[in-house]
Chains A and B, each alone.
Chain A
Amino acid sequence: MEAPTPHEVEVVHRTLTDHLPILQVIIPLLAAPLCVLLRERALVRGMAIGVAWTCLAISVTLLQHVMEHGVISYAVGGWDAPFGIEYRIDLLNAYILVVVSAIAAVVFPFGRGGEGLALNPARVHLFYAALLLCLCGLLGMAATGDAFNIFVFLEISSLASYSLIALGRGRRALRAAYSYLVMGTIGGTFFLIGIGLLYQTTGTLNIVDLHDRLQPVIGSRTVVVAFAFLVVGLGIKLALFPLHQWLPNAYTHAPAKISAFLAATATKVGFYVLLRVLFTIFGATFVFTTLRLHNLLLPMSLAAMFVGSLAAIAQTDIKRLLAYSSIAQIGYMTLGVSMGNVDGLAGGIVHLFNHAMMKGGLFLVVACVVLRTGSAKIDDMAGLGRKMPLTMAAFVVGGLSLIGVPATVGFVSKWYLVKGALERGWEPVALLILLSSLLAVIYVWRVLEVIYFRERPEGAKEVGEVDATMLIPTWILIGAAVFFGLRAELTSQVALDTARMLLGTGL
């Protein structure tokens, strides 16, 4: 045996705290098979909630650590980067980890479990196993610094979400899950091709290392092809117009709680990976100066904003309305990216966080409605303002935030987007942002009109307010949407710092 190297000595002396980056991925991963073994519904549910809160605690600790001491690099199994897999937590992923685990911590306890699932109650533990795997995948994507590892976690979370969506009531959930599976697999495979081509060119999979080694060959055809495959593959995952076709049906027919969870996290993590690919792997100069990505991303984003909003106006199903609105909101995020300046990018990043809160909250409201009335048709919500005042008030606040009314988070994101557009000299784009907000007024107002100004039809099912297990998670998310709207500096400062870091103009 050779004498231990200094490196190995360091591994021996690591404490539990040092393992936090991997722990929050490992814990849900191990908890999932444990669910299958335990089987007992209450136990499994409690464990899932416990795992979610543990992950939240870990991610908050990590974020604090990153804000104070800078980037954390963790070598899995003691194999140092670039040869081993590196978990690399900087400001951006720390932020995403907090968003994802916070949403999980709020959404998992929602309801008593098992409602709205097309599943034998004796098998609910499998649902939680899938849910934990999905969480594991999302956190893993955000935490890892290895491109191939991202693919693996991407597939873990995707496979879990296909099965979760298929658990929705009604056979259309099956078709939605199937479509998502096919499209998601194409997206994932595109991503894999992109990584393969990059590996072929550079011989590394570590994201930071990739960036350095790509610079000498950045203009080569292989790199450009890899870029196209990566962006389109991720575009499918984050439902960028016109690659969004899987999303409306998936969100509409999935169990309501799953819609809330996925809408608030899955596309957000996809967006995060897009940021990583664009800015950390390829670098802003290549993306915006050489390729001029904005020429394509800007029209796609604008189309997403308008098609999503217009389609939302025309829907008769509230879940589908929210799903189309999500497509529009994703358009805002990529619009921020396409601006390629600090304000725009910060607007996109802060909107990621804001949209997670408001859309998560709104889908939870819908989950309450579906549970009480058994229908997600907008017309069936007539007169609910009186019957479910607290739930519907949450919808009002969430809707206002979607529009971007001042004092809500929606306003903060739009502020930075408009600022970014003006800075870039894209006055018409700033105008279009405001115009699409007007469309949001229409689709939110349509629902509010039904809720408050239409009488509950004679003979309609008698309904009442939902219980605290649903109201509290809903109002936590909606309340956060107002809290962070009033204290905008809390989120926007992180977003601005992150944007500066990604664009390489600071930090």
Chain B
Amino acid sequence: MSDHGHGPPSVAPEKVKVIVGFLFFICAVAVLGELLPSFHPHEHAGLEFVNTFGFHAWYGFLSCVLLVLAAAQMRKLVMRDEDYYDRD
């Protein structure tokens, strides 16, 4: 994965590939779940857009990407040395 860290990956890369593959598979299944006959979205006035197809999927994905990128930018603003407060 990323270049972060010090030692070797603690899980073998092949296994990681399998896990990631499985993740993508159930991601697909989760979206298709909306096609189930028992799927009856809850109607809330003003929140119709929530019930558009795959809304939670892309909203979750986008939220996380934006969250992390924003946080990474925020780091420039707020990050200090570990002993920042201990110095005078």
Check A-B contact in the complex, CB < 8 A.
no
Residues of B whose CB lies within 8 Å of any CB of A are none
Residues of A whose CB lies within 8 Å of any CB of B are none
